[in-house]
Amino acid sequence: MSDATRAEVCAVAVAEVFRGDGERLASAFGAVPAIGARLAKLTFEPDLLMTDGVAYLRADVPPVTGDATSDPIVEGWLPFRRVFDLLWNGRRHVVMTATQIDRYGNHNFACIGPHKQPKAQLLGMRGAPGNTIHHPTSYWVPNHSTRVFVDQVDVVSGVGYDRARELEDGARFHEIRRVVSNLGVFDFATPDNRMRLASLHPGVSVDEVVEQTGFELVVPDDVPETRPPTDEELRLIREVLDPGDSRSNEVPH
Amino acid sequence: MDKRTTEHEAVAELRDGLTLGIGGWGSRRKPMSIVREILRTDLKDLTVVTYGGPDAGLLCKTGRVARIIYGFVSLDSIPLEPHFRAVRQAGAVEAVELDEGMLQWGLYAAALRLPFLPTRAGLGSDVLEINQKWIKPITSPYDDADQLVAMPALELDAAFVHLNRADARGNAQYLGPDPYFDDLFCQAAKRRFVTCEKIVETSDLAKAGTPHTLLLNRSMVDGVIEAPGGAHFTECPPDYGRDEAFQREYAKTAKDPEAWKAFEETYLTAESEAEYQKRVQARNEDRKAGR
């Protein structure tokens, strides 16, 4: 559909990272990832599990803002300690935001500057070390720039492919599925797992992506365009999942 | 055995340099009346172990903490705890930053009186780099010879948790959706204190919730403190939600020394928890009246 906004293209690109996941807990941080994960569940991945953001697994799929349902369908109990059990068990795919990410997918949202006395304390390690070593991880970057796609991250919270390789078998559950930004989709499907431009969002050029990336990206000769939303996906995004248009706050028109 | 006591008596047991565990999670079900009591003392050089919220912010901001062991410090509806950020950015505390699951594992190891528990969490990340003097890798002794992390036990001198109900003997009950890690905090500690919204008869515990909600049994608790509103301004469902307006006011004081001074004078210098609760109530009545 030609009238899809960039945010809507991004939401579909996030939904696509969950394709094939089946009965796995889909955790998504950020407005666009939350829309994307729910869109996947409402369309091609109906078996995904999701939490209510507190402690329950919820079988119905509420909108990302202004959930008016007084009667959610609870299908399970997942307090934090069982979240850790589940994720160390591997049946989860998380989409985390990245403050910094490098060519091998090393990720930082802990702090900017030296860890001992940071210039900016951010989220801290949170679950990133455990997530990335135990189950598939994808990343969401709403503001693709050389400040985010950096040559070297200040602190490694999420483990990248070069570090995973050094661990050999110790990292056998490590997988960075994809990075979705407001400009395109990226993966690590290269011989040495360096980040590759997998698709460009409509209206974005290779040059623009290269210019906004602080390391040398692998750019194939032919870069496809990111799949546009179908009519049904657009309807679900606009009328069901995000009638409040929180997606446009994250990725402006 | 009647274990009823007060915040004052519990905190009077503490000494400079001890390691304290604080239950709850972020800005959820935090034993804030205990934190407020600590702020009435001159305790310092504490090590604090926490899934941090305003407990971490207040104790660090007021110079009580030498070392903090945490996975994150957040106010939930305000993702970054602004007072904690300022302290970190000033380099004013030693920060032992862990993966959230590693923190659980450290408490669990201490609870089971083990020196460590193995995990993959931390492998390949800078958690090991920034804590290398303390957290060591280990190789599985079995045929797989896996590389793992030996998460050391987080032994606590004292633990403080806030639950919804307890009896005078220390059986305690959470009525919200998540137990967090409050039982592990207690089992990892030498001295264990539970504050609660209401002390009830033992026979009334099972009336308030199913037996599954009885998180702490009396062997895990040394002191019980009735503290209605004791988690304020963090949430304590179903008794009350988070006081978001108050939390916003607290957060705003991080960037405004004058506002912090006013906040401190109004709320933190209250000579008792009862006086604090009275001031909060007066504040809320003023707001409701639009004053």
Residues B93-151 pLDDT 10s: 999 999 999 999 999 999 999 999 999 999 999 999 999 889 999 999 999 999 999 99
Inter-chain touch A117–B181, beta carbons under 8 Å: no
Q: Are A167 and B123 in contact (CB under 8 A)?
A: yes
State residue A71's pLDDT score.
Answer: 85
Number of H helices, E strands in chain A: 8, 12
Residues paired with residue B4 on neighbouring β-strands, in sequence order: B224
Inter-chain touch A166–B124, beta carbons under 8 Å: yes
Inter-chain touch A123–B124, beta carbons under 8 Å: no
Q: Which residues of A48-73 are buried (b: 16+ CB within 10 A; e: fewer)?
A: bbbbeeebbbbeebbbbeeeeeeeee
Nearest CA in chain A to B102: A130
Inter-chain touch B146–A169, beta carbons under 8 Å: yes
Inter-chain touch B124–A156, beta carbons under 8 Å: yes
Percent helix, strand, coil in chain B (nearest 5)?
35, 25, 40
If we measure between CA atoms, which residue out of B128, B201, B189 comes closest to residue B160?
B189
Nearest CA in chain A to B28: A54
pTM for this entry: 0.96
State residue B133's pLDDT score.
Answer: 86
Inter-chain touch A123–B80, beta carbons under 8 Å: yes
- At residue A48 the predicted structure's pLDDT band, cuts being 50, 70 and 90, is very high
Residue in the structure block whose two tokens are 């606009």: A238
If we measure between CA atoms, which residue out of A68, A141, A137 comes closest to residue A99?
A141
State residue B291's pLDDT score.
Answer: 73
If we measure between CA atoms, which residue out of A53, A128, A153 comes closest to residue B77?
A53
Contacts of A82 in chain B (CB under 8 A): none
- List the single residue in B74, B99, B148 with the smallest CB-CB distance to A129: B99
State residue A67's pLDDT score.
Answer: 73
Residue in the structure block whose two tokens are 């002794």: B141
- List the single residue in A80, A118, A164 with the smallest CB-CB distance to B124: A164
- At residue A53 the predicted structure's pLDDT band, cuts being 50, 70 and 90, is confident
pLDDT in tens, chain B (291 residues): 999 999 999 999 999 999 999 999 999 999 999 999 999 999 999 999 999 999 999 999 999 999 999 999 999 999 999 999 999 999 999 999 999 999 999 999 999 999 999 999 999 999 999 998 899 999 999 999 999 999 999 999 999 999 999 999 999 999 999 999 999 999 999 999 999 999 999 999 999 999 999 999 999 999 999 999 999 999 999 999 999 999 999 999 999 999 999 999 999 988 999 999 999 999 999 988 887
Inter-chain touch B181–A80, beta carbons under 8 Å: yes
Q: Are B93 and B60 in contact (CB under 8 A)?
A: yes
If we measure between CA atoms, which residue out of B41, B76, B193 comes closest to residue B57?
B76
- Rg (alpha carbons) of chain B, rounded to whole number: 19
Inter-chain touch A125–B71, beta carbons under 8 Å: yes
Q: Does A173 touch chain B (CB under 8 A)?
A: yes
Inter-chain touch B177–A123, beta carbons under 8 Å: no
Provide the 8-state DSSP code for B132: T
Residue in the structure block whose two tokens are 């032919």: A222
Tokens coding B127: 């958690």
Q: Does A157 touch chain B (CB under 8 A)?
A: yes
Provide the ipTM: 0.95
Phi, then psi, of B96 in degrees rounded to 5: -100, 95
Q: Does A118 touch chain B (CB under 8 A)?
A: yes
Tens of pLDDT, residues B177-195 = 999 999 999 999 999 999 9
Residue in the structure block whose two tokens are 């609760």: B277
Contacts of A173 in chain B (CB under 8 A): 120
Q: How many CB pairs under 8 A join A and B?
A: 138
State residue A66's pLDDT score.
Answer: 78
Interface test with B, best of A57, A119, A121, A157 (most B CBs within 10 A): A121
Tens of pLDDT, residues A135-163 = 999 999 999 999 999 999 999 999 999 99
| Beta strand residue intervals within A59-171, DSSP E | 74-77, 92-97, 100-101, 107-108, 111-112, 120-121, 137-141
Residues 183-222 of A with CB under 8 A from B: none
Contacts of B85 in chain A (CB under 8 A): 120-121
Residues 70-99 of B with CB under 8 A from A: 70-74, 79-80, 84-85, 88-91, 95, 97-99
Inter-chain touch A81–B181, beta carbons under 8 Å: yes
- At residue A2 the predicted structure's pLDDT band, cuts being 50, 70 and 90, is low
Residues 6+ apart with CB under 8 A from B141: none
CA pair distance B197, B164, nearest whole angstrom? 5
State residue A6's pLDDT score.
Answer: 98
Q: Are A143 and A212 in contact (CB under 8 A)?
A: no
Phi, then psi, of A210 in degrees rounded to 5: -60, -40
State residue B269's pLDDT score.
Answer: 86
- List the single residue in B90, B121, B148 with the smallest CB-CB distance to A129: B121
Inter-chain touch A117–B71, beta carbons under 8 Å: no
User: Which sign, positive or negative, has the C-alpha torsion B3, B54, B16, B260?
Assistant: negative
If we measure between CA atoms, which residue out of A218, A219, A250, A222 comes closest to residue A237?
A250
Cis peptide before B237 (omega within 30 of 0): no
CA pair distance A218, B53, nearest whole angstrom? 41
Nearest CA in chain B to A83: B101
Q: Would the pLDDT of A206 be above 90?
A: yes
